[in-house]
């Protein structure tokens, strides 16, 4: 199969999955939240949450999509936060995950997906990438939704960039779902 045809088939599958409300993880289609029922979610939800967050002590960075807040964590304690953030919206939601990993950092990244009004690549200062598709923590206006990334105020984005290292675990969750999975009201 040609690479163009393969790419088209992949886009078609993603479009169908989006219409049906399916999420594909490691070749398996899951309905509803990507976190629901996944082995990583079940493992994380069997561990206690770090006080004041919806994440576990294994995470170095925690994002709560319900409250639009984030924290940096070390050894089960909050070292920074809560920080007001904004996540993806308008069909470009931030993916949920319990075992996401930092895989790249760029202090002066320029987005090839998001463009400024003049057509030039949008700056994404202090980018810390943790999910396929270019999803990252980066400096941005916490009052404005992103294209799936986590916008963090500039001083906090620099702190995230300095603190998080390649391989560090990031958890992006919804407090309401984490509490429900643990039977907490």
Residue 156 CA, distance from chain mean position? 16
Alpha-carbon distance 120 to 6, whole Å? 29
How confident is the model at residue 184, as a pLDDT?
A: 85
Cα dihedral 61→81→56→74 (10° resolution): 70
Burial class (CB in 10 A: 0-12, 13-18, 19+), 33: middle
For residue 35, is pLDDT > 60? no
Host H or E run for residue 172: strand 169-173
pLDDT band at 38 (very low <50, low <70, confident <90, very high): confident
How confident is the model at residue 163, as a pLDDT?
A: 98
Average pLDDT, the chain: 81
In terms of average pLDDT, the best of 26-30, 111-115, 156-160 is 156-160
In terms of average pLDDT, the best of 12-26, 69-83, 89-103, 170-184 is 69-83
For residue 34, is pLDDT > 80? no
How confident is the model at residue 46, as a pLDDT?
A: 81
Q: Which residue has the higher pLDDT, 111 or 77?
A: 77
pLDDT band at 40 (very low <50, low <70, confident <90, very high): confident
Count of CB atoms situated within 10 Å of the CB of 41: 22
Alpha-carbon distance 143 to 101, whole Å? 26
- At 114, list the tokens: 């998001």
Q: Which residue has the higher pLDDT, 83 or 15?
A: 83
How confident is the model at residue 36, as a pLDDT?
A: 57
For residue 75, is pLDDT > 60? yes
For residue 61, is pLDDT > 90? yes
How confident is the model at residue 114, as a pLDDT?
A: 77
Is-cis flag, bond preceding 82, omega within 30?
Answer: yes
Phi, psi of 19 (to 5 degrees): -65, -40
User: Domains along the chain?
Assistant: 49-182 (2.40.440.10)
What string of DSSP letters covers 19-76?
HHTEEEETTEEEES-TTTT-HHHHHHHTSPBPTTSSSBTT-SEEEETTTTEEEEEETT
């Amino acid at each position: 199969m040609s690479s163009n045809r393969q790419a088209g088939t992949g886009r078609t599958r993603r479009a169908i999955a989006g219409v049906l409300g399916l999420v594909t993880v490691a070749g398996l289609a899951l309905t509803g939240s990507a976190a629901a029922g996944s082995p990583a979610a079940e493992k994380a939800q069997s561990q206690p949450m770090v006080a004041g967050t919806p994440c576990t002590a294994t995470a170095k960075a925690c994002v709560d999509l319900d409250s639009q807040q984030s924290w940096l964590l070390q050894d089960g304690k909050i070292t920074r936060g809560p920080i007001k953030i904004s996540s993806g919206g308008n069909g470009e939601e931030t993916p949920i995950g319990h075992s996401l990993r930092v895989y790249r950092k760029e202090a002066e990244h320029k987005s090839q997906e998001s463009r400024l009004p003049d057509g030039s690549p949008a700056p994404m200062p202090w980018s810390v990438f943790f999910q396929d598709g270019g999803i990252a923590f980066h400096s941005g206006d916490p009052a404005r939704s992103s294209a799936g990334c986590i916008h963090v105020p500039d001083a906090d984005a620099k702190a995230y960039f300095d603190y998080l290292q390649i391989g560090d675990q990031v958890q992006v969750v919804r407090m309401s779902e984490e509490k429900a999975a643990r039977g907490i009201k």
